[in-house]
Amino acid sequence: MNPLRRRASRLLLATLLCPLAAQAAGFPDKALRLIVPFPAGGAADVMARGMAQQLGEVLGQQVIVDNRGGAGGAPAAEAAAKAPADGYTLFFATMGTQAINPALYPRLRYDPIKDFAPISLTHITPRVLVVGPSVQARNVAELIALAKARPGALSYGSAGNGSSSHLSGALFESLAGVDLLHVPYKGSAPLLTDVLAGRVDMTFDSYTVYEEHLRNGKVKALGVTSLKRMEALPQVPTLAESGLKGYDVSNWLGVLAPAGTPPEVLATLHRALGKAMANTALRQQLVKLGIQPTFGTTAEFAALMQAEIPKWAEIVKRSGATNE
């Protein structure tokens, strides 16, 4: 290429990249929206709001939480996938929306990989097996004995069909060899009300939702779903310790943008999210609630989602769980 043609090519490239550079330089110049696939008041909502506040402070713009519960978060994920790819709509993705739903919903109206651009994993949280006031069991072994004596009589609530709390219960049934009645809700908040009232016997939910009620004795924690005990509940054994060998469920959450979001905008969001999740007060609050704050590269988050889809497909198949 001669010098004149080389110069012309450089000028053309600069002209094409100029709008993208200007967009990145001016981003964001208005409020952002964070779609959360659960109603207000639940564990995911608590995590989302703390993160959104810090992210907004770093970006200098408000981050508005948009709660959309129901159907395992599928409608919320679909709305996020179809939003303009300009960085102003983000999705608080969960293990349920990105890894479990593909195995439960054969006609899913979004692709958990192709329709999103990963920003970072942000939260990891095990679930807690919580029983209500009417359940006369002091440990997992006694709970299993009760369930075996009354097949189909004991109920467990979840945050919705296909949610990680639903699959946690289905996996418990499979490994314990018991038959429980699944009662789906639209999020953790309405489920909490019925657990406290004794209308539902138990749940596999976030410690965040039940912390106060565990402290005052209104409900009991019989086990945690991770392989290691929770720092917030060191006295509560894991389900694997309690005889359910191989039981391991640790819910994860992170932030995605619609596919096609400009790389410069994604880079800005990634830097800002890293600063938000490094906030000392936020991290201390999360650890106290039994949640592990985390942050990593976009490639690491993408690899996690890819690996989790076949893992959960196998668990769904083995447990017999459905979205019906």
Q: Which CATH superfamily is domain 6-125+251-319 in?
A: Bordetella uptake gene, domain 1 (3.40.190.150)
Q: Is the Cβ–Cβ distance between 301 and 294 less than 8 Å?
A: no
Q: Is the Cβ–Cβ distance between 85 and 256 less than 8 Å?
A: no
Q: What is the mean pLDDT of the chain?
A: 90
Residue 121: the pLDDT is 98
- 102-156 pLDDT tens trace: 998 888 999 999 999 999 999 999 899 999 999 999 999 999 999 999 999 999 9
CA dihedral sign of residues 176, 178, 179, 185:
negative
Among 231, 243, 241, 196, CA closest to 217:
196
Question: Which segments in the chain show pLDDT lower than 50?
Answer: 3-4, 8, 13-23
Residue 21: the pLDDT is 44
- 59-69 pLDDT tens trace: 999 999 999 98
CATH 3.40.190.10 fits domain 126-224: yes
Four-point Cα dihedral 171, 177, 183, 186, nearest 10: -10
In the chain, the percentage of residues whose pLDDT exceeds 70 is: 92
Tell me the C-alpha to C-alpha distance, in Å, between residue 318 and each of 152, 160, 167, 172, 315.
Answer: 19, 20, 11, 11, 5
- Please give the structure tokens belonging to residue 146: 């009760």
CA dihedral sign of residues 145, 150, 151, 157:
negative
The domain limits of the chain are 6-125+251-319, 126-224
In the chain, the percentage of residues whose pLDDT exceeds 90 is: 71
